[in-house]
Amino acid sequence: MILVDVFVPAADNVYDFQLDEDVKIGLLIEEIGEMICQKEHCRMEGRMDKLLLCSMDNRNILSRDTTLAESGIKTGGKLMLL
């Protein structure tokens, strides 16, 4: 498990997450979206498969088919959910 900050421009907020670095990013995107909606008491509209997770440290879009570990994301990393 690693600790990361996830910035969500649509909510103009940063969220702290503890994520399993060995889970595929596509699954993590869905889990992050659901947890943010629960916290903010909102409904997720649109297609979850269109969301992107980006590394703010490395300035790249993370592939849904890889893991955080494979992408070089470590504790303290800063991500953005678009």
pTM: 0.91
Cα separation, 77 vs 57, whole angstroms: 7
Sign of CA dihedral 8, 19, 79, 23: negative
Structure tokens at 24: 């595929």
Q: Note the pLDDT tens digit of each residue in 7-54.
A: 999 889 999 999 999 999 999 999 999 899 899 888 766 677 889 999
Say which CATH topology domain 2-81 has: Ubiquitin-like (UB roll) (3.10.20)
Residues in the chain: 82
